[in-house]
Amino acid sequence: MTHQTLRDWLLTDTPQSRRQASAAAWYAGWLKLKRNTLAMAGLIVLIALILGALCAPLLATQDPFVQDLGARLLAPGTDGHIFGTDSLGRDIWSRLIYGARISLYIVALVAVVAPLLGLIIGTVAGYAGGILDVVLMRFTDIFLAFPRLILALAFVAALGAGIENAVLAISLTAWPPYARIARAETLTIRNSDFIHAIKLQGAGPLRIITRHVWPLCISSLVIRVTLDMAGIILTAAGLGFLGLGAQPPSPEWGAMVSEGRKYILDYWWVATIPGLAIFTISLAFNLLGDGLRDVLDPREAGK
């Protein structure tokens, strides 16, 4: 199949099979995203980051854990250390590459747990209404009322320091906004005719929520999650910085900034380079999120 006919097959308004229909829908979304240059830039940065994390052993010039006290605090560029070395003489570039694995691990886990929890609570509250709605939403309000980092700190303090507990703590503090969004979407969807129509086929609430309400909520949640990614990375980094997230010697970016802060005036790169890494991927997620908003906005879907 030549390139031109594949494109035609994907752009058709008259799909002939289930597979073609969904492929065409994805392709239309992709074309829309492709037009947004900034979102594409964000996407490319994130893909590069994922590839970098996957190929860390190939890209790293040195073992990220090996200390070399003779070569401590070398400036970027000296002796083959692209980004210099830290206070224990470890290569910062190698640590960054391995640290990407930790950041992505945290992000991926939080991105699955928090929105899912929010989606379930929000759609059930919105669809059921009445007492259940009141109870679930007040519960959400209680969580929302705490400052996020403080609540996360409290959880980690109670559960013990470590990456898994940091992920759990961040997820537990991140779900309430998703529940709010999901509930608001559900309230508008609940009264639309296509929901009435499926009710008139005798469909039960479980089927309506999972098959009919969720697909329409998920797009706004995906947008919100991508925009929140930056915040999640920063919270994880913050926990790392405070010594409650990843434990030394693991190369978590926040912990790296924390270690470097003692030398910030004389050896700027030790704290600045992991800081820049956090900044770059936060920005990349934000740009992608903005682009996804244009593609996924359910209000646009009908047109």
Identify which range of 67-75, 139-147, 164-172, 197-205 contacts another protein by CB under 8 A: 197-205
Identify which range of 19-27, 108-116, 245-253, 269-277 contacts another protein by CB under 8 A: 19-27
Out of 10, 198, 227, 264, name the contact with another protein by CB under 8 A: 198
Q: What are phi and psi of 302, to 5 degrees?
A: -75, -20
Out of 34, 196, 261, 262, name the contact with another protein by CB under 8 A: 196
Out of 70, 130, 160, 202, name the contact with another protein by CB under 8 A: 202
Distance CA 178, CA 172 (A): 12
CA contacts within 13 A on the Cβ side of 269: 19
298 makes contact with another protein (CB under 8 A): yes
- Closer residue to another protein (CB): 243 or 298: 298
CA proximity to 240, closest of 261, 257, 224: 257
String marking each residue 24-53 x if it binds another protein according to CB under 8 A: -x-----x----------------------
CA proximity to 152, closest of 67, 40, 237: 237
Tell me the two tokens of residue 223.
């947008």
Identify which range of 77-85, 135-143, 162-170, 207-215 contacts another protein by CB under 8 A: 207-215
Identify which range of 54-62, 119-127, 191-199, 252-260 contacts another protein by CB under 8 A: 191-199
Q: What are phi and psi of 118, to 5 degrees?
A: -65, -40
- Closer residue to another protein (CB): 114 or 189: 189
- Closer residue to another protein (CB): 78 or 192: 192
215 makes contact with another protein (CB under 8 A): yes
User: What is the dihedral sign for C-alpha 208, 209, 210, 216?
Assistant: positive
Kindly compute the dihedral angle of the four CA atoms of residues 251, 253, 255, 257, in this order, to the nearest 10 degrees. Answer: 120
Out of 199, 206, 210, 248, name the contact with another protein by CB under 8 A: 199
Place of tokens 């682009």: 291
CA proximity to 173, closest of 120, 118, 242: 118
Distance CA 87, CA 68 (A): 9
Could you list the residues that contact another protein (CB under 8 A)? 11, 13-18, 20-21, 25, 31, 192-194, 196-203, 211-212, 215-216, 298, 301-303
